[in-house]
Amino acid sequence: MLLLLLLMNDKVALGQDGDPVGSTQGGGGREMVPALFIFGDSLIDNGNNNNLPSFAKANYYPYAELLGLPLIPAYSEASGAQVLHGVNYASAAAGILDITGRNFVGRIPFDQQIRNFQNTLDQVTDNLGASDVSNAIARCIFFVGMGSNDYLNNYLMPNYNTKNQYNAQQYADLLVSEYSRQLTTLYNLGARKFVLAGLGRMGCIPSILAQNQMDRCSEEVNQLVMPFNANVKTMINNLNANLPGARFTFIDIAHMFEDLLTNYRSYGFSVIDRGCCGIGRNGGQITCLPFQTPCANREEYVFWDAFHPTEAVNIMFGRKAFYGDQSVVYPMNIQQLASF
Protein backbone atom coordinates (compact mmCIF):
# COMPACT_ATOMS: atom_id res chain seq x y z
CA MET A 1 0.00 0.00 0.00
CA LEU A 2 1.22 3.52 0.69
CA LEU A 3 4.56 2.91 2.35
CA LEU A 4 5.46 6.60 2.40
CA LEU A 5 9.09 7.21 3.22
CA LEU A 6 9.40 10.50 5.01
CA LEU A 7 11.62 13.51 5.02
CA MET A 8 14.23 13.88 7.72
CA ASN A 9 15.47 16.85 9.73
CA ASP A 10 18.93 18.39 9.39
CA LYS A 11 19.84 18.06 13.07
CA VAL A 12 22.20 15.34 14.27
CA ALA A 13 19.75 13.44 16.42
CA LEU A 14 16.76 11.26 15.67
CA GLY A 15 16.58 11.17 11.91
CA GLN A 16 20.31 11.23 11.29
CA ASP A 17 23.18 8.82 11.29
CA GLY A 18 25.86 11.16 10.09
CA ASP A 19 24.73 11.49 6.48
CA PRO A 20 24.64 15.03 5.12
CA VAL A 21 21.21 16.48 4.51
CA GLY A 22 19.81 15.36 1.20
CA SER A 23 22.13 12.36 0.83
CA THR A 24 19.47 9.71 1.20
CA GLN A 25 19.35 6.17 -0.07
CA GLY A 26 16.40 5.92 -2.35
CA GLY A 27 14.52 9.00 -1.20
CA GLY A 28 14.12 12.18 -3.16
CA GLY A 29 14.33 15.77 -1.98
CA ARG A 30 15.14 17.58 1.22
CA GLU A 31 13.94 16.05 4.45
CA MET A 32 11.19 17.71 6.46
CA VAL A 33 10.63 15.41 9.46
CA PRO A 34 13.01 13.35 11.57
CA ALA A 35 11.62 9.86 10.96
CA LEU A 36 8.70 7.64 9.98
CA PHE A 37 7.18 5.01 12.26
CA ILE A 38 4.89 2.50 10.58
CA PHE A 39 2.18 0.28 12.08
CA GLY A 40 -0.12 -2.06 10.20
CA ASP A 41 -0.65 -5.41 8.50
CA SER A 42 0.48 -7.24 5.34
CA LEU A 43 -0.19 -4.17 3.23
CA ILE A 44 2.91 -2.63 4.82
CA ASP A 45 4.77 -5.44 6.63
CA ASN A 46 8.34 -5.65 5.26
CA GLY A 47 9.69 -8.55 7.27
CA ASN A 48 8.47 -8.66 10.87
CA ASN A 49 6.73 -12.02 10.40
CA ASN A 50 9.75 -13.72 8.81
CA ASN A 51 10.93 -15.41 12.00
CA LEU A 52 7.48 -16.06 13.45
CA PRO A 53 5.69 -19.43 13.17
CA SER A 54 3.27 -17.81 10.74
CA PHE A 55 1.51 -18.61 7.49
CA ALA A 56 1.39 -14.85 6.78
CA LYS A 57 4.69 -13.60 5.39
CA ALA A 58 5.16 -10.23 3.73
CA ASN A 59 8.86 -9.75 3.25
CA TYR A 60 9.37 -7.74 0.10
CA TYR A 61 10.70 -4.23 -0.38
CA PRO A 62 8.04 -1.50 -0.14
CA TYR A 63 6.44 -0.56 -3.42
CA ALA A 64 6.59 3.24 -3.38
CA GLU A 65 8.88 5.98 -2.22
CA LEU A 66 7.70 9.57 -2.32
CA LEU A 67 9.82 11.26 0.28
CA GLY A 68 13.37 11.44 1.49
CA LEU A 69 14.30 8.67 3.92
CA PRO A 70 16.19 5.46 3.30
CA LEU A 71 14.07 2.31 3.27
CA ILE A 72 12.60 1.95 6.75
CA PRO A 73 13.82 -1.27 8.43
CA ALA A 74 11.54 -3.88 9.96
CA TYR A 75 11.55 -3.83 13.76
CA SER A 76 12.74 -7.45 13.81
CA GLU A 77 15.87 -6.46 11.88
CA ALA A 78 16.56 -2.89 13.03
CA SER A 79 19.39 -2.04 15.39
CA GLY A 80 21.68 0.81 16.33
CA ALA A 81 21.65 3.82 14.05
CA GLN A 82 19.18 2.14 11.69
CA VAL A 83 16.27 3.10 13.96
CA LEU A 84 17.07 6.83 13.73
CA HIS A 85 15.20 7.15 10.42
CA GLY A 86 12.21 5.24 11.73
CA VAL A 87 11.02 1.65 12.09
CA ASN A 88 8.34 -0.51 10.47
CA TYR A 89 6.38 -2.50 13.10
CA ALA A 90 3.70 -3.83 10.72
CA SER A 91 2.82 -7.51 10.77
CA ALA A 92 0.91 -9.57 8.22
CA ALA A 93 -2.43 -10.86 9.61
CA ALA A 94 -2.37 -8.33 12.46
CA GLY A 95 -5.43 -6.42 13.58
CA ILE A 96 -6.73 -3.86 16.01
CA LEU A 97 -8.06 -6.77 18.09
CA ASP A 98 -5.54 -9.21 19.52
CA ILE A 99 -7.62 -12.24 18.46
CA THR A 100 -7.67 -11.20 14.78
CA GLY A 101 -5.63 -13.34 12.39
CA ARG A 102 -5.16 -16.33 14.67
CA ASN A 103 -5.83 -18.64 11.69
CA PHE A 104 -2.36 -17.59 10.46
CA VAL A 105 -0.83 -18.48 13.86
CA GLY A 106 2.01 -15.99 14.41
CA ARG A 107 1.34 -12.26 14.00
CA ILE A 108 1.98 -9.06 15.96
CA PRO A 109 -1.29 -7.26 16.88
CA PHE A 110 -1.43 -3.47 17.10
CA ASP A 111 -1.10 -3.40 20.89
CA GLN A 112 2.15 -5.37 20.66
CA GLN A 113 3.38 -3.18 17.80
CA ILE A 114 2.92 -0.19 20.11
CA ARG A 115 4.90 -1.95 22.86
CA ASN A 116 7.63 -2.61 20.31
CA PHE A 117 7.70 1.11 19.50
CA GLN A 118 8.08 1.85 23.20
CA ASN A 119 11.12 -0.47 23.23
CA THR A 120 12.61 1.49 20.32
CA LEU A 121 11.84 4.75 22.11
CA ASP A 122 13.58 3.55 25.27
CA GLN A 123 16.61 2.52 23.23
CA VAL A 124 16.87 5.87 21.44
CA THR A 125 16.25 7.83 24.64
CA ASP A 126 19.11 6.02 26.38
CA ASN A 127 21.45 7.07 23.57
CA LEU A 128 20.26 10.61 22.81
CA GLY A 129 18.55 11.89 25.95
CA ALA A 130 14.90 12.41 26.79
CA SER A 131 14.60 16.08 25.82
CA ASP A 132 16.05 15.72 22.30
CA VAL A 133 14.06 12.58 21.62
CA SER A 134 10.80 14.09 22.84
CA ASN A 135 11.20 17.12 20.59
CA ALA A 136 12.10 14.96 17.59
CA ILE A 137 9.30 12.40 18.09
CA ALA A 138 6.75 15.20 18.08
CA ARG A 139 7.88 16.07 14.53
CA CYS A 140 7.95 12.49 13.23
CA ILE A 141 5.10 11.01 11.24
CA PHE A 142 3.27 7.91 12.50
CA PHE A 143 1.61 5.97 9.72
CA VAL A 144 -1.08 3.47 10.77
CA GLY A 145 -2.91 1.11 8.42
CA MET A 146 -5.10 -1.14 10.54
CA GLY A 147 -8.51 -2.78 10.32
CA SER A 148 -8.54 -4.93 7.17
CA ASN A 149 -7.78 -8.15 8.99
CA ASP A 150 -10.36 -7.42 11.67
CA TYR A 151 -12.86 -8.02 8.86
CA LEU A 152 -11.13 -10.46 6.47
CA ASN A 153 -9.50 -12.60 9.15
CA ASN A 154 -12.02 -12.22 11.94
CA TYR A 155 -15.58 -11.03 11.24
CA LEU A 156 -15.85 -12.77 7.84
CA MET A 157 -14.16 -16.01 8.91
CA PRO A 158 -16.44 -18.99 9.66
CA ASN A 159 -14.29 -20.13 12.60
CA TYR A 160 -14.92 -16.85 14.46
CA ASN A 161 -18.16 -16.13 16.32
CA THR A 162 -17.80 -12.36 15.84
CA LYS A 163 -20.55 -12.03 13.23
CA ASN A 164 -23.01 -13.59 15.67
CA GLN A 165 -22.02 -11.19 18.45
CA TYR A 166 -22.07 -7.87 16.59
CA ASN A 167 -23.85 -6.25 13.68
CA ALA A 168 -21.85 -4.00 11.32
CA GLN A 169 -22.27 -0.80 13.37
CA GLN A 170 -21.63 -2.49 16.71
CA TYR A 171 -18.44 -4.07 15.39
CA ALA A 172 -17.22 -0.77 13.96
CA ASP A 173 -17.93 0.85 17.34
CA LEU A 174 -15.90 -1.84 19.10
CA LEU A 175 -12.97 -1.55 16.69
CA VAL A 176 -12.79 2.23 16.75
CA SER A 177 -13.11 2.36 20.54
CA GLU A 178 -10.02 0.12 20.73
CA TYR A 179 -8.32 2.06 17.93
CA SER A 180 -8.83 5.36 19.77
CA ARG A 181 -7.31 3.91 22.94
CA GLN A 182 -4.31 2.60 21.01
CA LEU A 183 -3.69 5.86 19.18
CA THR A 184 -3.98 7.78 22.44
CA THR A 185 -1.28 5.50 23.85
CA LEU A 186 1.00 6.50 20.97
CA TYR A 187 0.15 10.14 21.65
CA ASN A 188 1.09 9.68 25.31
CA LEU A 189 4.43 8.26 24.14
CA GLY A 190 5.08 11.51 22.28
CA ALA A 191 3.54 11.03 18.82
CA ARG A 192 1.80 14.10 17.41
CA LYS A 193 1.56 13.67 13.63
CA PHE A 194 -0.58 10.73 12.52
CA VAL A 195 -1.59 9.42 9.10
CA LEU A 196 -4.40 6.84 9.26
CA ALA A 197 -5.34 4.79 6.20
CA GLY A 198 -9.02 3.91 5.90
CA LEU A 199 -10.31 0.61 4.58
CA GLY A 200 -10.79 0.17 0.85
CA ARG A 201 -13.56 -1.41 -1.22
CA MET A 202 -12.93 -4.81 0.33
CA GLY A 203 -15.88 -6.36 -1.43
CA CYS A 204 -14.00 -5.92 -4.71
CA ILE A 205 -10.74 -7.74 -3.90
CA PRO A 206 -10.10 -11.00 -5.81
CA SER A 207 -10.46 -13.10 -2.64
CA ILE A 208 -14.05 -11.89 -2.19
CA LEU A 209 -14.82 -11.93 -5.93
CA ALA A 210 -13.79 -15.59 -6.04
CA GLN A 211 -16.56 -16.41 -3.54
CA ASN A 212 -19.21 -14.70 -5.65
CA GLN A 213 -20.64 -16.64 -8.59
CA MET A 214 -21.94 -13.38 -10.09
CA ASP A 215 -18.29 -12.30 -10.55
CA ARG A 216 -18.87 -8.80 -9.25
CA CYS A 217 -18.11 -6.84 -6.11
CA SER A 218 -19.85 -7.91 -2.92
CA GLU A 219 -21.86 -4.90 -1.83
CA GLU A 220 -22.57 -6.75 1.41
CA VAL A 221 -18.87 -6.65 2.29
CA ASN A 222 -18.47 -3.06 1.06
CA GLN A 223 -21.39 -1.99 3.24
CA LEU A 224 -20.00 -3.95 6.18
CA VAL A 225 -16.83 -1.86 6.40
CA MET A 226 -18.43 1.54 5.74
CA PRO A 227 -19.28 2.19 9.42
CA PHE A 228 -15.62 1.66 10.33
CA ASN A 229 -14.46 4.40 7.95
CA ALA A 230 -17.21 6.73 9.16
CA ASN A 231 -16.28 6.07 12.79
CA VAL A 232 -12.59 6.68 12.11
CA LYS A 233 -13.36 10.08 10.56
CA THR A 234 -15.38 11.02 13.66
CA MET A 235 -12.59 9.72 15.88
CA ILE A 236 -10.03 11.85 14.05
CA ASN A 237 -12.11 14.98 14.58
CA ASN A 238 -12.42 14.15 18.29
CA LEU A 239 -8.72 13.40 18.75
CA ASN A 240 -7.68 16.54 16.88
CA ALA A 241 -9.98 18.57 19.16
CA ASN A 242 -9.09 16.89 22.46
CA LEU A 243 -5.39 15.99 22.28
CA PRO A 244 -3.28 19.19 22.46
CA GLY A 245 -0.81 19.46 19.59
CA ALA A 246 -2.10 16.34 17.81
CA ARG A 247 -2.69 16.36 14.06
CA PHE A 248 -4.50 13.32 12.64
CA THR A 249 -4.99 12.87 8.90
CA PHE A 250 -7.27 10.27 7.26
CA ILE A 251 -6.56 8.75 3.83
CA ASP A 252 -9.87 7.85 2.20
CA ILE A 253 -8.82 4.60 0.52
CA ALA A 254 -12.44 3.65 -0.20
CA HIS A 255 -12.99 6.85 -2.20
CA MET A 256 -9.72 6.31 -4.10
CA PHE A 257 -10.65 2.72 -4.93
CA GLU A 258 -14.16 3.62 -6.03
CA ASP A 259 -12.74 6.21 -8.40
CA LEU A 260 -10.11 3.77 -9.64
CA LEU A 261 -12.53 0.91 -10.28
CA THR A 262 -14.93 3.25 -12.10
CA ASN A 263 -12.28 5.00 -14.20
CA TYR A 264 -9.57 2.33 -14.35
CA ARG A 265 -8.95 2.65 -18.09
CA SER A 266 -8.23 6.35 -17.80
CA TYR A 267 -5.56 5.50 -15.23
CA GLY A 268 -3.93 2.97 -17.56
CA PHE A 269 -5.32 -0.27 -16.08
CA SER A 270 -7.11 -3.01 -17.97
CA VAL A 271 -7.71 -5.77 -15.35
CA ILE A 272 -9.68 -5.00 -12.19
CA ASP A 273 -11.25 -8.34 -11.28
CA ARG A 274 -8.37 -10.78 -10.78
CA GLY A 275 -4.96 -10.91 -9.16
CA CYS A 276 -1.79 -10.79 -11.23
CA CYS A 277 -0.47 -13.72 -9.19
CA GLY A 278 -2.90 -16.26 -7.74
CA ILE A 279 -4.78 -19.50 -8.34
CA GLY A 280 -8.42 -20.27 -9.09
CA ARG A 281 -11.37 -17.99 -9.80
CA ASN A 282 -10.28 -14.37 -10.21
CA GLY A 283 -6.78 -15.41 -9.18
CA GLY A 284 -8.18 -15.13 -5.68
CA GLN A 285 -8.95 -18.59 -4.31
CA ILE A 286 -5.31 -19.25 -3.40
CA THR A 287 -3.02 -16.24 -3.15
CA CYS A 288 0.37 -15.93 -4.88
CA LEU A 289 2.67 -18.85 -4.04
CA PRO A 290 6.48 -18.95 -3.93
CA PHE A 291 7.98 -19.51 -7.41
CA GLN A 292 4.63 -18.98 -9.10
CA THR A 293 4.92 -17.07 -12.38
CA PRO A 294 2.92 -13.83 -12.19
CA CYS A 295 1.18 -12.11 -15.08
CA ALA A 296 3.50 -10.53 -17.65
CA ASN A 297 1.74 -7.13 -17.65
CA ARG A 298 1.42 -6.37 -13.95
CA GLU A 299 1.30 -2.61 -14.55
CA GLU A 300 -2.14 -3.14 -16.11
CA TYR A 301 -3.54 -4.95 -13.05
CA VAL A 302 -5.17 -3.27 -10.07
CA PHE A 303 -4.55 -6.27 -7.80
CA TRP A 304 -1.26 -8.10 -7.32
CA ASP A 305 -2.76 -11.13 -5.55
CA ALA A 306 -5.92 -12.18 -3.75
CA PHE A 307 -5.76 -9.29 -1.28
CA HIS A 308 -3.22 -6.60 -2.18
CA PRO A 309 -2.98 -3.88 -4.84
CA THR A 310 -0.12 -3.70 -7.33
CA GLU A 311 2.87 -1.38 -7.28
CA ALA A 312 1.19 0.85 -9.86
CA VAL A 313 -1.84 1.34 -7.58
CA ASN A 314 0.35 1.93 -4.53
CA ILE A 315 2.29 4.65 -6.29
CA MET A 316 -0.88 6.33 -7.54
CA PHE A 317 -2.55 6.23 -4.11
CA GLY A 318 0.66 7.37 -2.42
CA ARG A 319 0.86 10.46 -4.61
CA LYS A 320 -2.79 11.27 -3.97
CA ALA A 321 -2.25 10.95 -0.21
CA PHE A 322 0.80 13.17 -0.39
CA TYR A 323 -0.51 15.90 -2.70
CA GLY A 324 -4.29 15.38 -2.76
CA ASP A 325 -7.23 17.53 -1.70
CA GLN A 326 -9.77 16.86 1.05
CA SER A 327 -11.80 14.52 -1.16
CA VAL A 328 -9.09 11.88 -0.66
CA VAL A 329 -7.09 12.95 2.40
CA TYR A 330 -8.66 14.80 5.33
CA PRO A 331 -8.22 17.37 6.87
CA MET A 332 -4.80 17.89 5.21
CA ASN A 333 -2.51 15.97 2.91
CA ILE A 334 0.77 14.43 4.01
CA GLN A 335 2.87 17.17 2.45
CA GLN A 336 0.96 19.71 4.52
CA LEU A 337 1.17 17.58 7.66
CA ALA A 338 4.93 17.25 7.31
CA SER A 339 5.32 21.03 7.11
CA PHE A 340 3.75 21.69 10.54
Q: How far apart are CA 194 and CA 200, in angstroms?
A: 19
Has 10 been annotated as catalytic?
no
Which amino acid is it at 210? A
Has 42 been annotated as catalytic?
yes
DSSP annotation of 155: I
b/e burial code for range 268-294 (CB count within 10 A of at least 16 → b): ebebbbbbbbbbebbbbbebbeeeeeb
Closest to 1 in 3D by CA, of 287, 257, 174, 273: 257
Q: How far apart are CA 229 and CA 215, in angstroms?
A: 25
**Beta partners for 329?**
251
Has 41 been annotated as catalytic?
no
Q: Which of 41, 45, 150, 305 is catalytic?
A: 305
DSSP annotation of 50: T
Q: How far apart are CA 272 and CA 333, in angstroms?
A: 27
Backbone angles phi, psi at 167, to 5 degrees: -85, 180
- The H or E element containing residue 330 is strand 329-330
Q: How far apart are CA 39 and CA 147, in angstroms?
A: 11
Exposed, middle or buried by CB within 10 Å (0-12, 13-18, 19+), for 176? buried
Q: How far apart are CA 251 and CA 327, in angstroms?
A: 9
Q: Which of 41, 252, 255, 308 is catalytic?
A: 308
The three-class DSSP label of residue 301 is: strand
- The H or E element containing residue 176 is helix 168-188
Q: Which of 41, 42, 150, 207 is catalytic?
A: 42
Count the residues in the chain.
340
Closest to 115 in 3D by CA, of 150, 145, 89, 91: 89
Instruction: Return the active site residues.
Output: 42, 305, 308
